[in-house]
Amino acid sequence: MKSIGIGLHLDREDVEPVAKAIAASNLFVSAIDVDDDQPLSDRELLVRVAQTRAKLLERATFIAVRYGFAFRSAAEAESKIVTNAARWRALLEENRTRVELTLKVVASTQQQKPDRNSFSSGADYLRALHAAKNAAVVSDTFKREVEKTIGALCAKQKWIARDAASIEFAALIERASLLKLAPAGESLKRACPDIPFLLSAPWPLEVFADADHE
């Protein structure tokens, strides 16, 4: 039997009985048990983990662990999180009442995604992909509208280049303000009717906990 780690939490009560709570480095790791021979790429397992994530978020805000964290003992889990545990605990305490939202928007100047068959080196292909991603932009007008309508509700916000075709706005919003999000999204749609976007919330701490995006 192995455990699939789902999130990092402040209290045991934030996890149980939705998932198993494993005490590690002054935090609790939420996890579900799966058979050793069950592949992590199993579709049903992916959906089960995603649904458990959603149920955990109903209880309290937590730091999401990117899918793929598997371990066989509390000691192993502890050894994997000990380095960053203090930072993660501080982040959880600071954002206890907040959740993340994301707004994905199609870039106004889309870059052609590089054709992988045109590259003899995988590294060159990845570099070209990265350059295309960073070249994607959205109009300043749309950005201003997002920041005026959605950003005004949020405590923290940032724009992230996602891929060659899309940009993402990520923000932290108080749970108490979530009801204002749908009207704000409608207002944005009216202000920018020609720009398709996907607004979704609530999410656990993902972008704001990920050192890649700091």
Partner 1 sequence: MARTQEQVELALLDMLDHLLDRGVVISGEAVISIGDVDLLYLGLNIVLANVDTLSRVLDKRK
Instruction: State in angstroms the smallest separation of the CB of 40 from partner 1.
Output: 7
Assess 24 for contact with partner 1 (CB under 8 A): no
| Inter-residue contact 116 to 125 (CB < 8 Å) | yes
CB 197 within 8 A of CB 191: no
- Given a contact cutoff of 8 angstroms between Cβ atoms, the answer to whether 34 and 84 are in contact is no
CA-nearest of 138, 5, 12 to 71 is 5
- The one among 127, 144, 158, 190 contacting partner 1 by CB under 8 A: 127
Q: What is each CA distance from 149 to 44, 141, 184, 195, 196, in whole angstroms? A: 37, 12, 5, 15, 16
Q: Site for partner 1 (CB under 8 A): how many residues?
A: 43
Is residue 67 at the binding interface for partner 1, with CB under 8 A as the rule?
yes
The type of residue at 182 is A
Minimum CB–partner distance for residue 49 and partner 1 (Å): 6
Alpha-carbon gap, residue 124 to 132, rounded angstroms: 12
Residue among 18, 63, 99, 171 that touches partner 1 (CB under 8 A): 63
Binding residue for partner 1 (CB under 8 A) from 10, 56, 133, 136? 133
Q: Which range, of 15-23, 119-127, 135-143, 187-195, touches partner 1 by CB under 8 A?
A: 119-127
Euclidean distance between CA atoms 114 and 118, whole angstroms: 8
185 binds partner 1 (CB under 8 A): no
CA gap 185, 197 in Å, rounded = 9
Residue from 27, 56, 81, 192 in contact with partner 1 (CB under 8 A): 81
User: Residues 155 to 184: which contact partner 1 by CB under 8 A?
Assistant: 162-163
In the complex, which residues of this chain contact partner 1 (CB under 8 A)? Answer: 5, 7-8, 40-41, 46-47, 49-50, 53-54, 63-71, 80-81, 84, 88, 102, 123, 126-127, 129-130, 133, 162-163, 198, 200, 203-204, 206-207, 209-212
